[in-house]
Amino acid sequence: MTLFFVTLAGALGCVARYLFEYGVRRHHPTRRPWATVAANALGCGIAGWAAYRLTSSMDVNIHTIVLTGFCGGLTTFSSAFAIPALLAEEHHWRYSAAIVVSTPVLCGVFFAVGAALGH
């Protein structure tokens, strides 16, 4: 049953990510993947909160559903680092470097904030 709920939560995370990306691109049309960076940071913030809040008070299955399912569907480090490679091929070195540097920094900060809120 946990597998079903992880799958469902992952699908919800994917849909949330799509809607987030769509909203950002609709209002700020750009080829720069700032929505990807923001979705990864948000997902890490939720993961940080869940890692501390849900570990002590909830069943391990809920923990798995939130972290692996929802946060796994919301975040994507494959896109976060594939897109900078594509930007570099188009000679957009600064944007590429900004994404490579900002993604892990923002995700680390958001995880720490989420953990502090959950703790």
Tell me the domain boundaries of the chain.
2-118
- Per residue in 98-118, pLDDT (tens digit) is 888 988 899 899 999 998 998
> SS3 of 66, please?
helix
Distance CA(47)–CA(67), nearest Å, equals: 6
Phi, psi of 29 (to 5 degrees): -65, 120
Is the pTM above the cut of 0.85?
Answer: no
Q: Quick count: other Cβ atoms within 10 Å of Cβ 18?
A: 12
Distance CA(53)–CA(44), nearest Å, equals: 14
pLDDT < 50 stretches in the chain:
none
